[in-house]
Amino acid sequence: MKKILGLAALWMMAFSAQAQYVEPKITHEPYGKQKVAYQLNDSNVDFQIQVLRNANNHIRAVGKDNIELHLVVFAGGLTALETSKPETVAALENLRAQGVKVAVCNNTLKARNVDWRTLKGVKETDIVPAGVAEIAYLQQKGFAYVRP
């Protein structure tokens, strides 16, 4: 039994040593200027946080002066703008502070009977006629489309 426990302890130490992050020496050319549209249309809170983190990581990788990022919110994604959950609110405020434009679908507002003035940080100029059409419009203007 002692032998098995000893082997298990050695295995756990070896596994934990392998699991630690080591900073790689990345030799990648700069990303350059980017225009990107992120889709947020899911009501799952964990997924919403993931999308907001992805957008933030994207900005960090490219540099906020090298990116024009639009977050297109429609359908279930609207709940991210309705919530008081601190993590979601902070993530949205952080993205806006970095220049991210949040585009809110008017079709969703109308279908759900939501007054845009009740949404966190949303201005009337943030409202677009249709979320899906906005994504297509941005693609026509040279934006890459990201649907996490």
**Confidence band of 9 (pLDDT split at 50, 70, 90):** low
- CATH number of this structure's domain 29-146, picked from the four choices 3.40.190.10, 3.40.1260.10, 1.10.10.10, 3.30.70.20: 3.40.1260.10
Contacts of residue 46, Cβ cutoff 8 Å, sequence gap at least 6 = none
Residue 87 has a pLDDT of 95
pTM of the model: 0.84
Compute the distance between CA of residue 143 and CA of residue 140 in angstroms, rounded to an integer.
Answer: 7
Per residue in 62-108, pLDDT (tens digit) is 999 999 999 999 999 999 999 999 999 999 999 999 999 999 999 99
Residue 119 CA, chain-centre distance (Å), reads: 18
Tokens matching residue 52: 């907001």
Residue 6 has a pLDDT of 55
Instruction: List residues bridging with 37 in a β-sheet.
Output: 70, 145
Is the pLDDT assigned to residue 20 strictly greater than 90? yes
